[in-house]
Chains A and B, each alone.
Chain A
Amino acid sequence: MLEIPKEKLLWIYETMVKIREHEERVAELFAQGKIPGFVHLYIGEEAVATGVMAHLRKEDFITSTHRGHGHFIAKGGNIKASMAELFGKATGICKGKGGSMHIADLDVGELGANGIVGGGIPHAVGAALGIKLNGLDNVAVAFFGDGASNQQNFHEAINLAAIWKLPVVFVCENNLYQISLPYSKQQAIKSVAERAVAYGIPGVSVDGQDVFAVYEVAKEAIERARNGEGPTIIEAKTYRYRGHFEGDPQIYRSKEEIEWWKNNKDPITIFEKTVLEKGLLTKEELDAVREKVKKEIEEAIKFAEESPWPKPEELLEDVFSTPTKGVLVWQW
């Protein structure tokens, strides 16, 4: 295991716990009818976003997916504003016009979650091209699922990044399902990382439930990218505990399977066990983090609940960056 500074260990723990707590509360709020639309939760996959983001700076870019709350949180996005967004409130990070599937925060390099599977992968490549042409040493990371790795965008974008040697890392979160279709029925290869061969770039597969393992492979891939050595594909084998979306009856997998993952491969439990056994952090330190996180999430929920709805006239705003009077047609 790599030496990880204590400060970083605490950040890793806080981030994973924050994602878990956030998503569990969102599940409850959705069930109560407070959050409208589709909600895809990240519970179970916390170690992937966290292990990767541990190496990113604020100026580095990520692109995310319909399951994007975890990426957003790990990248340092404003949780009050994202919670308000989930509620559809005027104070939301997208002014109530994006919602759960479109959580984005350009202030922290979050280029956007995406409602189109695979849609964001080329955006990360575009950001990386910008980085390269401007002579910067930043990187871009594209997050996507195993399902998305069958999309034309995956293949086209990775190929471009490979031939142009762009500073981008492709992180596949293989949570074993594409809604209902298991990984084994999506592709004939054992690991999405094997596809790297087709583009002449490195591909590595890692246990996505072990944040230390993710941390290690991400470190190497991001360093390669920063050093101008081009893209890498990382496949993190992970698992989502909840349905594809909230309300999913999950007829395609068994309760036993889900329980097995929770009992044997929970990323937060694995982390806690490791740091306590090795004496890297104390029980008191972990408890303090949990308490702090709970408070932060509750504050965000309170903010969202108390925020006003957008006004009807906001409907016509934000379509263009210049004034649009007379151009937007409502009624003849």
Chain B
Amino acid sequence: MAVVREITFAQALNEALDYEMSKDPKVVVMGEDVGQYGGIFGVTKGLLEKYGEERVKDTPIAESGFIGTGVGAAASGLLRPVVELMFIDFLGVAYDQIYNQAAKIRYMFGGKAKIPIVIRTVSGAGASAAAQHSQSLHALFVHVPGLKVVYPSTPYDAKGLLISSIEDDDPVVFIEHKMLYGVKGPVPEEPYSIPLGEADIKKEGKDVTVVATALMVYRALEVAEKLEEEGISVEVIDPRSLVPLDEETILNSIKKTGRLVIVDEAYPRCSFATDIAALAVSKAFDSLKAPVKLVTAPSTPVPFSPALEKEWVPSTEKIETAIREVL
């Protein structure tokens, strides 16, 4: 077997964008500093040189304006925009265009419109970026009918899922954790797609199921490896796309292990974590041998000081404690 080269999460996303732009002239990239600058995290690097200003559009800071433009362009059937919302925290200034417009036009038009827009955005704490640049707000999208929500953890998944998202005819919110951009992993050079709605079992196990998202997948795997030495067998599942959600893979795992820990970096109330917990108790209650455990950030804004932020983000210690509590 050929050795697959390793590239970063950011490069994997860049390859997906490059491939889609080369294949389909309808695909355009828009956002703040996505052109010459190449995106503040480098994801759109080189696209301007290759595809020109017409298709790689630097915009003013007018998120509502340019996301709205993208929605209209998609609804017209003339373009398939990939729009970058620089940080998920800026959602508030553009939310109307996402949850009332992009998500609802198709339904309100009686199914006659397609809205092939991808909104790429950046989530997550760990960079001392304080309360307005560190949040994990995926639940705000998951909550809204009409939006697909993708949240990958590995470079491999990032490339395959972004290709699928751009080729999808519905609005997709594609969330990238900022602490993962530099993470390297094996990624084939050729294009490939990963269907939305297929979870990935990152590690098989039989004693306890851990459902984890994005950066938390790595922390869960670290704990699983440690516990393995004690003979505790942990299964780690990465849903990868939150909408549509691969309920089957998650439920089958719970039925096998009888125990569930959910690890998610978002605020706890009305969250993706509570959503999975609800799924487990409503659909796999009879298999559960212990209460479901949630490991999340606390209900506070994200603090700036590294001393506090470290406490804020779910740690391997907290994950380990939770797993031991359900065993």
Q: Do A and B bind each other?
A: yes
Answer yes or no: A189 CB below 8 A from chain B CBs: no
B257 at the binding interface (Cβ < 8 Å): no
Q: Known contacts A99-B128, A99-B130; is A330 also within 8 Å of B298 by CB? A: yes
Give the most central of A116, A252, A332: most B CB within 10 Å.
A332
A11 contacts B by Cβ under 8 Å: no
What 1/0 mask marks residues of chain B from 28 to 52 whose CB sits below 8 Å from any chain A CB? 0000110111001000000000000
User: B291-304: contact bitstring with A at CB < 8 Å (1 yes, 0 no)?
Assistant: 01111101111011
CA distance A276 to B312 in the complex (A): 54
Asked if A115 CB lies within 8 Å of chain B CBs, one says yes
How long is the Cα–Cα vector from A92 to B132 in the complex, in angstroms?
Answer: 18
Q: Which of the residues B299, B303, B307 comes within 8 Å of A328, measured between beta carbons?
A: B299
Within 8 A of B (CB), among A313-332: 314-316, 319, 327-332
Verify A181–B130 contact, CB threshold 8 A. no
Partner of B62, one of A151, A251, A332: A151
Q: Among the interface residues B58, B61, B277, B318, which one has the most CB atoms of the partner chain A within 10 A?
A: B61
Asked if A309 and B33 make an inter-chain contact with CB atoms under 8 angstroms apart, the answer reads: no
Report the Cα distance A185→B37, complex, angstroms: 14
Once the chains bind, are A88 and B128 in contact (CB under 8 Å)?
A: yes
Minimum CB–CB distance from A198 to chain B (whole Å) comes to: 16
What is the CA–CA distance of A94 and B301 in the complex, to the nearest angstrom? 13
Query: In whole angstroms, how far apart are the Cα atoms of A332 and B294 in the complex?
Result: 6
Q: Is A36's CB within 8 Å of the partner chain B?
A: yes
Interface size grouping (class) on chain A: 35 or more
A98 touches B130 (CB 8 A): yes
* CB-CB under 8 A for A186 and B305, given A37-B128, A37-B130, A329-B269: no
Chain A interface helix/strand/loop/mixed: loop
The docked-state distance in angstroms from the alpha carbon of A39 to that of B129 is 10
The DSSP consensus for interface residues of chain B is loop
Question: In the bound complex, what is the Cα–Cα distance between A116 and B85 (angstroms)?
Answer: 12
A88 touches B307 (CB 8 A): yes
Known A315-B311, A329-B268: A102·B304 in contact at CB below 8 Å: yes
CB within 8 Å of A: which B151-194 residues = none
Q: Establish whether residues B131 and A329, one from each chain, have CB atoms under 8 Å apart when the complex forms.
A: no
- Please give me the 3 A-B residue pairs with the lowest Cβ-Cβ distance, nearest first: A88-B305, A96-B305, A115-B132
Residue contacts A-B, CB under 8 angstroms, 22 given: A37-B304, A38-B129, A38-B133, A88-B128, A88-B304, A98-B130, A98-B131, A101-B133, A115-B131, A118-B61, A119-B93, A147-B60, A151-B61, A178-B61, A179-B32, A179-B33, A180-B36, A180-B58, A310-B308, A315-B300, A319-B299, A328-B298
A interface residue numbers (CB < 8 A to B): 36-38, 88-89, 92, 94, 96-99, 101-102, 114-119, 147-148, 150-153, 178-181, 185-187, 251-252, 309-310, 312, 314-316, 319, 327-332
Apart from A97-B304, A329-B269, A332-B294, list 18 A-B contacts with CB within 8 A: A37-B127, A96-B307, A98-B304, A101-B133, A115-B89, A115-B130, A115-B131, A118-B61, A151-B61, A181-B32, A187-B60, A251-B37, A310-B308, A315-B311, A328-B299, A329-B299, A330-B298, A331-B295
